[in-house]
Chains A and B, each alone.
Chain A
C-alpha cells in the first residue's frame, strides 16, 4: 500500500502548486476589487466629515435656524431643515408603510391571478421611475391642476411614490421567507386565513419588514428632486407641513450651493463686526454650512440604517 500512496501523494503535490497559485490570484483579485469599491466610499465620507465637522460642531448647529443669517454671518443652525426633513419623511412613511405592506401581503398571500401580475408589473415600473418624474406628476396633479401652493406635504406625496415600491419589494421577500409549513400548521389548527396572516405570518416576518421599512425611509430621506420642484426653501423654522415654504436638509444644501460664489461677486472691502471697513472680500460661510448640512444628512441616514441593522438582529425566524 505504501508504494501506491507515495507516488499519488507526489503527483497530488505537483497539481496543487498551480491550484494554490490560482487560489492566491483569485484571493488577491477579490481583495483588490473590495479595496477599489471602498475607495470612493471612504473618500466621500472623509471629505464630508473633514469639511463639515467645523459647522456641525459649532454652537447652536442643531438648535438654531438660518433666520436672518446671511452667507457672510457667523452662526445659525440646521434645526429648521432637520425638522422639515423629519416631518416630510414621517408623513411619507405614514402613508407608504400601510399601503406597501398591504400590497405585499396581497401579492404573497392572496395573489396569483391577473390582478397580482398587473400589480407586480406596476410596482416594477414604479421602482424605475426617476424621482424627478414622480415630482412632476405630483406637481401636475396638485399644483398645476388643483392650484395647490408649494408645501412640504407635496414633497411627501412624491416621496410616497418612491418609497412604496421599495417597501413592497422588501416586504414581499420577507413574507416569502416565512415557511409555508407555518401557514399550514395554523390552518390545521382551524385558524382562518386572515388570522393566520395577522398572528402568524406577520409576526414571523416582522423584523425583516421593519428593516425594509427603515431602509426605505433612509432611501427617501436624501431624495432631492421632489423637494426642489414641490417645496421652496426658507431659512425660517416652519413646522407646518401643509402650508408655507419649508426647509429640509437637501434644500438647505442647495441653498448654500447658490451662495458659494457670493463673496467673489462683492466689493473689494466689507464691514467687520464693529462697522469698520476691512479690505478684501467678505467672509463666506456657505461652504461650511453646505458641508455641515451634508454631514448632518449622512448622519441621519446612517442612524436609520443602524436602527434597521439593530432591529434585524432580533430576527426570530430560526427555521
Chain B
C-alpha cells in the first residue's frame, strides 16, 4: 500500500515569487515524517506540492520532481486528479461537506470518483474507514446525521476517515490538530500511530512536542533570510533533531531562541 516519496530539486513559485528553493528529501514508506519550522517558511507549501494541491492556487507553479515509488507525479501526461486519488490530504480546519451526512461524507471520495457502487460495499467502506479513524463507536448510531453537527475533533477524524476511504498510498496532514483541544489532539496522534502501519504519513505541525511524539523523521524548514525563499535546513531522525541537530539554526529553533 504505502509508497516512498522522493523530492528532487523542488523550487516552488507563487507567480514569479520563489517561495521555497532547492528542496530534496526522501520519505520512507509506512512512517510518520514531521515538517516543522517558523510560520511562512514554506512547510505547508512543500506539503501541498506532494499531491499537486499547490497548483490549485492561481499562478502557483513547481519546478523539480516528486517521485512516488520512482514515478514522477509531475511527469508529462500525469493527471493531478489521479495523483490526488493516490495521495490523500487532511487540512488544518476540519472541513466535512456541510450538505452531506456522516455516511455520505465518508464515501464522498468514492462516489464522486467512480459513480455507482453497491450499497453493501459502501457500507463496508464506511465501517472500515470510520473504525480506521477511530470514530465508529461514537457515530455508528447516527450515520445519517449531518457531518457538520459533530464536535471539532470528531469532524477532523471524519475528515481522516473520508481521506482513507479512497485507500490512498500516502496521507498528508497540514496541521491537523491546530484547531483542536488536547484530548482530540491525543486521539488523532494515537490514530497516526495506527495509520502509519498502512500509510506513509507526512504531517506539518507547529507543535514541536507533537512532532517529537508522533514522527520518526523530522524535517526543519526555515527562511534563508527575511524576504528570501524558504529552504529545508535539515532532515533527520526525530530523536537526533531534538537532541543533537547538525545545524545551529535547528538548535536555535527547537530551543526556542527564535521562531
On A, residues with C-beta under 8 Å from B are 112, 179, 181-192, 195-196, 199-200, 203-204, 206, 316-319
User: CB < 8 Å: which of A182, A189, A204, A318 contacts B112?
Assistant: A189
Q: Which residues of A contact B21 (CB under 8 A)?
A: none
Is A195 touching B97 in the complex (CB atoms < 8 A)? no
Is B81 touching A182 in the complex (CB atoms < 8 A)? no
Q: A184-B53, A199-B112, A318-B148 are in contact. Are A191 and B81 (CB under 8 A)?
A: yes
Interface contacts (Cβ under 8 Å), in number, total: 80
On B, residues with C-beta under 8 Å from A are 51, 53, 56, 58, 81-86, 88-89, 91, 93, 95, 97-99, 108-109, 112-113, 146, 148, 159, 162-163, 166
Is B51 touching A188 in the complex (CB atoms < 8 A)? yes
Is B53 touching A316 in the complex (CB atoms < 8 A)? no
Is A189 touching B99 in the complex (CB atoms < 8 A)? no
Q: A181-B93, A184-B91 are in contact. Are A192 and B98 (CB under 8 A)?
A: no
Is B109 touching A204 in the complex (CB atoms < 8 A)? no
User: CB < 8 Å: which of B56, B58, B166 contacts A190?
Assistant: B166
Q: What 5 additional pairs, Cβ within 8 angstroms, besides A187-B81, A190-B85, A190-B86?
A: A182-B98, A189-B166, A191-B108, A199-B112, A206-B99
Is B109 touching A200 in the complex (CB atoms < 8 A)? no
User: CB < 8 Å: which of B56, B84, B98 contacts A189?
Assistant: B84
The smallest beta-carbon distance between B152 and chain A, in angstroms, is 11
The smallest beta-carbon distance between A190 and chain B, in angstroms, is 3
Is B51 touching A185 in the complex (CB atoms < 8 A)? no
Is B93 touching A189 in the complex (CB atoms < 8 A)? no
Q: A191-B81, A316-B99 are in contact. Are A184 and B112 (CB under 8 A)?
A: no
CB nearest neighbor in B for A319: B98
Closest 8 CB pairs of A and B: A190-B85, A189-B109, A188-B89, A181-B95, A190-B84, A191-B112, A203-B99, A318-B148
